[in-house]
Structure 1
Amino acid sequence: MEFLTDDGASFAVNASKTSQVLALLLVRCPETVSVDTLISELWGERPPRSAVTTLQTYIYHARRMLSRELPGDQRGIVLTRSPGYGVQVAPDDIDVNLFEKAVRRGRDLLEKGDAEQGVSVLSEGLGLWRGPAFAGLVVGDVLGTHVAHLEELRIQAVGLRIAAERSLGRHLELVPELRALVKAHPLNELFHAHLIEVLYDSGRRAEALEAYQQLRQVLDRELGVEPTREMQRLQRAVLHGDDTRSHRFAAGVSGRAHAAA
């Protein structure tokens, strides 16, 4: 997670309790985060007796951290506000907000039929990622909820962008990315569906059928289940050379991206 300063610079939140507090305040901006919520994030259900005092120390260090990193007019952004603390930051100064805004705008553009611009906006938003959400940061239950949300939104954004690029006739260039995606998310049938269709549409039917078998094997090994009926229909269509399949077929399996994806 990065904080963007007014002069275009940025600094990343690092792996300490102080940074854990600051990350939660930033991701919940402009809300006030209660003392109880911050304590729950830091220590779970078994906080130390000194939790409130220790939290105050982390807030003090967070303010010192910002005083070193930010120009003078931005140093006082960590505020004491009943019943806890908050930060006074413009929404577009936080990369998480910029990403979520890009996904919303990209989705709107695609719904209006502007695939080219939609791809551009989604790619810009996805370009803000530097690895897993809050990588290297200690994450408790509260931040963990935000991590799950952001990772799910990231997968959705990638799926939207790939579908839009396919609608623009970009097939061969998507193959390497899709192979990497099915390796990283082996239980996500939507990515597998995109890969199978892109391979088939590129004249690589044998590889498309092999990609389906790889999905079938991983589902059997990890979950003991078969691919969905939609995926099985896709496999039969590829097997029989059915060219009437719609490029929108992959959206039909988006409802089953297994929890371990």
Structure 2
Amino acid sequence: MKFGILGPLLVQGSGGDILTPSATKPKIVLANLLVHPDRVVSSRQLTEELWGETPPRTAGGALHVYVSKIRKLVDERGTRPRYSTIATRPPGYVFSMSGHDSDIDQFNRVQRQATALRKAGDSEGAVELLEQGLALWRGSALADVRFTPRLMRTAQYLDELYAASCEKKFEISLALGRYSELVGELYAFADEHPTRERVHEFLMLALYNTERTNDALRVYTSLRNVLRDQSGLNPSPRLQRLQRIILSQKLERLPALHY
């Protein structure tokens, strides 16, 4: 069985059928268990996630019902596993990933492999692996789950992992000289993340190295305006230095990482 949190919540049976619960509260329970695999999630935490600090008197029974329904779902219809995927373990429940696949585990594994390849000098192989990992994302993390404070923090953390992986791929690709093929993707990513300076840095480098100096300077100006409007700050000294170098045009081609 496959489980996914890198996008809308996903439960996929071994035959490919989609078994994701549709009701709001079971989704919250399942999401909390999936983001803490092989670890006990207390009944108290799950109760707070479902009802806040003032749960109803029937909260304990209702939680038990939700967990039972999810347990039947993830143990798959028509099967009688020796051990349930969701085990009761005081003070709560534990979701065992043994024998199952999850997209976050696959993503983390690919990230480690990409890092190892890059250290070994295989930058092209590292980019290929990073692209494989990024392809696992189906949208924003836990996109269709009603966010509780804990789940919101988890989703933000996961989305930051995605952004950081994209930046790593951009960085290595620029070092390989893939300027032209990155411009469109960098523009789109910068639009989605208007205050991420590193992305704008990469876009400026790609544009300058494809002889689009004016466009590179416009990217800097746009970033500076956004930062001033939102926080009253200027771009970092690193970005300011890059702008000055582009303005001076002292280099025919800017190295991707060492300017």
Q: Same fold (TM over 0.5)?
A: yes
Partner SS for 2:87: strand
Contact 1:14–1:136 (8 Å) recurs in 2: no
- Verify: 1:247 aligned to 2:240, yes or no: no
- Aligned pairs for 1:1-20 within 5 A: 1=5, 2-3=10-11, 5-7=13-15, 11-12=19-20, 14=22, 16-20=24-28
Per-residue Cα deviation, 1:55-88 (whole angstroms, up to 9, x for no partner): 1121122124335x56625693122112111122
Partner SS for 2:115: helix
Distance change >3 Å, CA 63–CA 167, structure 1 → 2? same
Q: Could you tell me which residue of structure 2 aligns to residue 258 of structure 1?
A: none
- Verify: 1:22 aligned to 2:30, yes or no: yes
Per-residue Cα deviation, 1:194-232 (whole angstroms, up to 9, x for no partner): 000000011111111111111111111111111111110
Q: Could you tell me which residue of structure 2 aligns to residue 38 of structure 1?
A: 46
Q: How many Å apart are 1:9 and its aligned residue?
A: 5.9
Bigger shift: 46-55 or 220-229? 46-55
Match of 1:186 among 194, 200, 212: 194
- Aligned pairs for 1:184-223 within 5 A: 184-223=192-231
Distance change >3 Å, CA 208–CA 137, structure 1 → 2? same
Contact 1:102–1:121 (8 Å) recurs in 2: yes
Q: Name the one with the larger helix percent.
A: 1
**Partner AA of 1:212 in structure 2:** Y
**Partner AA of 2:221 in structure 1:** Q
Match of 2:55 among 23, 47, 50: 47
Could you list the structure 1 runs, at least 4 aligned residues long, displaced by more than 4 angstroms after superposition: 4-15
- Verify: 1:139 aligned to 2:147, yes or no: yes
Contact 1:103–1:122 (8 Å) recurs in 2: yes
Q: Could you tell me which residue of structure 2 aligns to residue 72 of structure 1?
A: 79
Provide the C-alpha distance between the structure 2 equivalents of 1:91 and 1:107, rounded to a whole number of angstroms. 26
Provide the C-alpha distance between the structure 1 equivalents of 2:168 and 2:99, rounded to a whole number of angstroms. 24
- Aligned pairs for 1:148-167 within 5 A: 148-167=156-175
Provide the C-alpha distance between the structure 2 equivalents of 1:190 and 1:11, rounded to a whole number of angstroms. 39
Q: Could you tell me which residue of structure 2 aligns to residue 177 of structure 1?
A: 185
**Partner AA of 2:204 in structure 1:** I
Contact 2:41–2:92 (8 Å) recurs in 1: yes
**Partner AA of 1:72 in structure 2:** T
Contact 2:107–2:133 (8 Å) recurs in 1: yes
Give 5+ residue unaligned stretches, structure 2: none
**Partner AA of 1:182 in structure 2:** A
Provide the C-alpha distance between the structure 1 equivalents of 2:22 and 2:139, rounded to a whole number of angstroms. 14
Q: How many Å apart are 1:92 and its aligned residue?
A: 5.8
Match of 1:93 among 80, 83, 101: 101
Partner SS for 2:84: helix
Contact 2:12–2:20 (8 Å) recurs in 1: no
Distance change >3 Å, CA 197–CA 96, structure 1 → 2? same
Q: What CA RMSD, in Å, does the superposition of the two structures yield over aligned residues? A: 2.2
Distance change >3 Å, CA 18–CA 55, structure 1 → 2? same
Bigger shift: 39-48 or 199-208? 39-48
Provide the C-alpha distance between the structure 2 equivalents of 1:184 and 1:125, rounded to a whole number of angstroms. 19
**Partner AA of 1:137 in structure 2:** V
Match of 1:57 among 59, 65, 72: 65
Per the normalisation by structure 2, the TM-score is 0.87
- Verify: 1:234 aligned to 2:258, yes or no: no
Distance change >3 Å, CA 109–CA 43, structure 1 → 2? farther
- Percent of pairs with identical residues: 34
Distance change >3 Å, CA 224–CA 137, structure 1 → 2? same
Partner SS for 1:142: helix
Contact 2:209–2:254 (8 Å) recurs in 1: no
Q: How many residues get paired?
A: 249
Provide the C-alpha distance between the structure 2 equivalents of 1:197 and 1:120, rounded to a whole number of angstroms. 21
Per the normalisation by structure 1, the TM-score is 0.87
Provide the C-alpha distance between the structure 1 equivalents of 2:47 and 2:36, rounded to a whole number of angstroms. 15
